[in-house]
């Protein structure tokens, strides 16, 4: 395996009106690495994600995937090159089965339209079942998505995001709205997929216990600028991070204690 990074972001910037949402950030991501992007609300995390996946065009800088420039490419082109993202199963598809939702994503990879899929319900079923097995959802393949438990829906969404065999998976707040047990299950599964597939993951997360438990490395944004980078324990003890994130005198540990005593213990 080559030592050069899978993703190389340099001088990346994006403004909205007068606001520099992302202000010249640099970071790299290697294959098989789980990188957490954290920062307070409005720090520029989602804007960064949306530039990497092509939904937003950068004003400045470069985003290279295996040395190839992504800035200026369409989202679909970027997806075909192996950059995927999780997104919520749309209401309209919730009545379809688990397997059908994954089959649609697989057909989309082949450039086929939903209307064609309609008449070919068996297309890609085996492939879909294999993806579902990888996320522990094979047994529920023929249930409609709208009867699943919330944590199981998230597993299906992960399977859908795997349809293009991504080199890089982007997850913007993947565990939002989940209970601590579900969060940990989802991140453990993500970590397992990272290891099995050698895939890289860039994710944002509000729950610091999840970040500290699962991230290999972290980068911290505040007001569009990258203020720190390092391993979770280095970041936890970083005074600048603690100050920008919580205001002076507060720490990750104290914030976690306030929120959820039992999950804070897991990390301590």
Beta-strand relationship, 34-38 and 200-204? parallel
Q: How far is the CB of 20 from Mg ion (least distance, A)?
A: 16
CA distance 123 to 96: 15
Sign of CA dihedral 146, 152, 156, 161: positive
How many residues touch ligand ADP under the rule CB under 6 A: the total is 11
> Does 46 engage in binding with ligand ADP (CB under 6 A)?
yes
Q: How far is the CB of 171 from ligand ADP (least distance, A)?
A: 13
Other C-beta atoms lying within 10 Å of the C-beta of residue 36: 23
46 counts as binding Mg ion under rule CB under 5 A: yes
Pick one of Mg ion, ligand ADP, none as the site partner of residue 179 (Cβ within 5 to 8 A by kind): none
Residue 221 sits at φ, ψ, to 5 deg, of -105, 145
Residue 19, interface with ligand ADP (CB under 6 A)?
A: yes
184 is in the binding site of which of Mg ion, ligand ADP, none (Cβ under 5 to 8 A by kind)? Answer: none
Nearer to ligand ADP, 39 or 166 (CB): 39
**Cβ atoms within 10 Å of 256's Cβ, excluding its own:** 20
User: Does 86 contact Mg ion by CB under 5 A?
Assistant: no
Task: Decide: residue 142, CB within 10 A, 0-12 exposed, 13-18 middle, 19+ buried.
Answer: exposed
Site membership for ligand ADP, residue 87 (CB under 6 A) = no
Q: In what order do the strands lie in the sheet with 60-65?
A: 19-29, 7-16, 60-65, 68-69
Site for Mg ion contains 207 (CB under 5 A): no
Nearer to Mg ion, 45 or 238 (CB): 45
Q: Which of 10, 28, 30, 42 binds ligand ADP (CB under 6 A)?
A: 42
The residue ranges that bind ligand ADP (CB under 6 A) are 16, 19, 21, 39, 41-47
The residue ranges that bind Mg ion (CB under 5 A) are 45-46
């Amino acid at each position: 395996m080559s030592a050069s990074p899978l993703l190389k972001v340099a001088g990346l910037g994006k403004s909205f009106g007068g606001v520099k949402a992302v202000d010249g950030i640099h970071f790299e991501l290697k294959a098989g690495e789980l990188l957490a992007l954290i920062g307070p609300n409005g720090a520029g995390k989602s804007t960064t994600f949306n530039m990497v996946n092509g939904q937003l065009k950068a004003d400045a800088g470069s985003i290279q995937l295996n040395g190839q420039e992504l800035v200026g490419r369409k989202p679909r082109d970027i997806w075909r090159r192996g950059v995927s993202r999780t997104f919520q199963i749309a209401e309209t598809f919730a009545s379809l089965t688990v397997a059908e939702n994954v089959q649609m994503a697989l057909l989309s990879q082949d450039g086929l339209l939903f209307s064609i899929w309609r008449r070919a319900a068996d297309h890609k079923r085996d492939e879909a079942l294999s993806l579902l097995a990888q996320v522990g959802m094979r047994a529920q393949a023929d249930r409609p998505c709208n009867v699943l438990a919330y944590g199981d829906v998230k597993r299906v969404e992960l399977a859908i995001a795997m349809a293009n065999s991504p080199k890089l998976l982007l997850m913007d707040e993947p565990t939002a709205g989940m209970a601590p047990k579900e969060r940990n299950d989802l991140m453990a599964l993500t970590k397992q997929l990272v290891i099995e597939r050698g895939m890289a993951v860039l994710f944002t997360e509000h729950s610091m216990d999840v970040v500290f438990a699962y991230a290999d490395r972290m980068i911290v944004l505040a007001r569009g600028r990258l203020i720190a980078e390092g391993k979770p324990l280095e970041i936890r003890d970083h005074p600048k991070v603690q100050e920008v994130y919580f205001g002076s005198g507060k720490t990750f540990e104290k914030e976690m204690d306030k929120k959820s005593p039992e999950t804070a213990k897991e990390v301590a």
